[in-house]
Chain A
Amino acid sequence: MMRTVSAAETAPTTYPWAVHAEGLGVRAGRHLAVDGLDLALGTGVHGLLGPNGAGKTTLMRALATVVKPADGRLTLLGESVDGRADLRRVRRRLGYLPQQFGFYPRFTVREFVEYMAWLKEMPKAAIPSAVQRTIDRVGLTAKAGARMKTLSGGMLRRAGIAQAIVNDPAVLLLDEPTVGLDPEQRLDFRELLRDLGVDSCVLVSTHLVEDVVAACTDVVLINEGRLVHQGTPDDLAAQGGEGDAGDSPAERGYSALLRRHRAEAGR
């Protein structure tokens, strides 16, 4: 079973960042939800924080190549994805879990993940073992044969995560993945996140500050479509003071940064 290693596979990595955006602008309907955003993400777990309406979901959708950027430049894994690019290559190495994802209810969990694996153009021979491996990784082994419509909220989210990671993506985008999970499930999920961050670039969008602090190595705070702050969770905590709202240092830092950003924008 000796396999050949292609020259392309061993060509040196030409890009410094897995995700790189410059002056990115993305529309949601008429409104420019992301406006002049600069972002650079490498390997690890990055938390995307921001209030409602900050443009998090729109940004995720642009990164997932679901929506085309209106202006600016966006590069994923060294390939430009704005304009007329060949998206297939990049999409094969992406994983995306939208905030509200639909599914065909009559599918079983295994069939759902298999279907998504097929859509992601994974080599057919590799699909069954990848599906089983992914189902085991997210902890759905017992429910692999259950129909999607019988799953509870937490299980459904896990199935969503499974389809996102089945192709072992280099860039993984998770939009509000912990919504509807109970605290124990959330702890499991953080374990999984840390696992995934070892060798891929993971961006988790959430409005729960404590999720970010627990699992992320890097925090990206955006507001009104612009980057407000990027740094470690400790950096975030350091931004806050006694007078800011919040139950934890990180939350206080978060409120402080938002307050300052709004003040600057108002000026």
Chain B
Amino acid sequence: MRRIAAADRRAFDELYRRTSPWLLARLRRRCADDDVVADVMQETYLAVWRAAGSFAGSATSGGAVGWLWTIAAHRLVDAFRRRARQNQVPAVPLTETVAPAAEDEVMAGRVGHELEHALLVLPPEARQVLRAMVLDGFSVRETSLLLGVPENTVKSRARRARIALREALS
């Protein structure tokens, strides 16, 4: 990061090469519109280039990847907000199946069986809210923008998810 702050273009290109496929895959699972995803990625990396000095000072434990996602997430929210104004909100892809097939059971262990049970019980909209708030770190307001539902709806779905999780844990 420090090298990027020193306007080292090679270091920046290296960061892009190493992290952009991951970011692309993750963003695509939150937004069905490739143009929006491309814009968000461009803005994210530009922001890193321009403000690298500030980021270098406050390195978080997650490393570069952690706040790359933070920046990208915020830019995604901004992009959705701009389009919400014009009533062109991009679609958010919805996963159909919840439970893994037998051959993927080994991966499920990482997330935890309790979470899997909770996810199984919840309707897809609540799952979306859970992913946005817990996995991606969005706030209630941002989640409501991204999913196109009112804030109170987001809150009630999140509450339902918490209850389901608590039941699954007990």
Contact = CB atoms under 8 A, between A and B. Distances in A.
Contact of B54 (A5, A12, A110, A198): A110
Contacts of B75: 133
Contacts of B66: 1
A199 B81 contact: yes
Given A110-B54, A132-B50, A12 B141 contact: no
A129 B70 contact: yes
Interface string A119-136: 000001111111111001
Given A5-B133, A9-B140, A124-B58, A133 B74 contact: yes
Interface range on chain B: under 10, 10 to 19, 20 to 34, or 35 or more? Answer: 35 or more
State the main secondary structure of chain A at its contact with B: helix
Contacts of B67: 125, 129
B168 to A, nearest CB: 16
B6 interface: no
A133 B47 contact: yes
Given A131-B54, A198-B84, A10 B155 contact: yes
Interface in B61-108: 62, 66-67, 69-71, 74-75, 78, 81-82, 84-85
Contact of B135 (A2, A10, A168, A200): A2
Given A10-B159, A129-B55, A2 B145 contact: no
A48 B164 CA distance: 46
A211 B60 CA distance: 43
Given A128-B58, A131-B54, A2 B134 contact: yes
A9 B50 CA distance: 33
B44 to A, nearest CB: 10
Given A10-B155, A194-B85, A133 B71 contact: yes
Interface in A117-172: 124-133, 136-137, 141, 144, 168, 170
A100 interface: no
Contacts of B169: none
A10 B162 contact: yes
B47 A132 contact: yes
A3 interface: yes
A137 to B, nearest CB: 7
A125 B58 contact: yes
Nearest to A129: B71
Contacts of B58: 124-125, 127-128
A64 B85 CA distance: 26
B78 A1 contact: no
A243 B55 CA distance: 60
Nearest to B130: A5
B62 A1 contact: yes
A129 B85 contact: no
A133 B134 CA distance: 22
Given A128-B54, A128-B57, 8 more contacts: A2-B134, A3-B134, A10-B140, A11-B155, A125-B67, A129-B47, A144-B50, A199-B145
Interface of B: 43, 47, 50-51, 54-55, 57-58, 60, 62, 66-67, 69-71, 74-75, 78, 81-82, 84-85, 133-135, 137, 139-141, 144-145, 151-152, 155-156, 158-159, 162
10 contacts: A1-B62, A3-B133, A5-B158, A9-B155, A9-B158, A12-B156, A125-B58, A128-B54, A128-B57, A129-B47
Interface of A: 1-5, 7, 9-13, 110, 114, 124-133, 136-137, 141, 144, 168, 170, 194-195, 198-200
Identify the 5 closest CB pairs spanning chains A and B, nearest first: A128-B54, A132-B51, A10-B158, A10-B155, A10-B159
